[in-house]
Structure 1
Amino acid sequence: MTAALSLAMAPGASATIYTGNVTNAYDGNESHRWDEEQYSELDFYNCQSLHHQSVQITYYRALDFKPDPSYDQKLFTACFKAGGVSVGEWHDLPWGMYYFQIGAIDSGDSNTIDVESWTIDTTKAD
């Protein structure tokens, strides 16, 4: 099976917002890249996995011909509850291209995850 992490842009009045979903993603799957500067908020809505517990998310800055530096890892759990939203924030980011990577799903006890939708908001002003 293949995993899909989709990306779409929805420019807002005061922020750049990227949206997508995750289908059948494994530990190690990466999102598409987007431009980022200073601040980023990643929200996951309606997460589904075998044990309905958690997913680890790592944020990376994409660099050419160098290892990509990682930023704080987040453990998302709220999105597995009915109506819940998991929110991760990253501050003081240098300008660049960024992406997130799916990490351990249900502490490594599940193989795949689906996320009905996710959003990236690049402006803290909201």
Structure 2
Amino acid sequence: MKKSRIAVVGGTLATLVLTLAPSAYANWSSSMSGVMSGFESSRWDDEQYSEIRFTGCDQGYATSVDVNLWEDVSLNYDNYKGDATFTNCFNSSTAVSAGEWHNLPVNDFYFKLGSIGGSNQMWARNVYIDTTAAD
């Protein structure tokens, strides 16, 4: 009786932990509204290649944003994979800025916003994550 109760509790805890873990997707799109430096995106599964695209960036005086790619390492420090400075997306509601990263390990990734030039927050009409180098 005691062993079965432990197994049920253990199984329930494992399910709860998996349910609360950050989700990882391959390709996805979203938007950002009023985000500040330090903002972290959702995670995505990847290997070899990631492209991050922002379309229609805006915030009064903002003119650029540094986008940092991070590898999400379970139970350890995350690995910084480099950054790209996005400026073009601030030119119009349809203008696109993009950064590409190659030779990535198989893992989950996310981006984190670094400094936002000219402002302390920003918006992006569309944020797109592409994990397929073939397109």
Q: Same fold (TM over 0.5)?
A: yes
The correspondence for 1:65, drawn from 63, 75, 78, is: 75
What TM-score results when the alignment is normalised by the length of structure 1?
Answer: 0.83
Name the CA distance, whole Å, in 2 between partners of 1:104 and 1:73: 11
Any gaps of 5 or more consecutive residues in structure 2? 1-22
Moved over 2 A (4+): none
How many residues are matched?
112
Name the CA distance, whole Å, in 2 between partners of 1:19 and 1:34: 11
Root-mean-square deviation (CA), in Å? 1.7
Partner letter of residue 94 of structure 1? P
User: Retained in 1: the 8 A contact 2:32–2:123?
Assistant: yes
Bigger strand share: 1
Match of 1:76 in 2: 86
CA shift, 1:67, in A, is 1.0
CA shift, 1:52, in A, is 3.2
Bigger helix share: 2
User: Retained in 2: the 8 A contact 1:59–1:73?
Assistant: yes
SS of the residue 1:79 aligns to: helix
Name the CA distance, whole Å, in 2 between partners of 1:46 and 1:70: 26
Partner letter of residue 35 of structure 2? A
What TM-score results when the alignment is normalised by the length of structure 2?
Answer: 0.78
CA offsets, 1:19-62, max 9 Å, x none?
A: 01111101001001110110011110000123131000000000
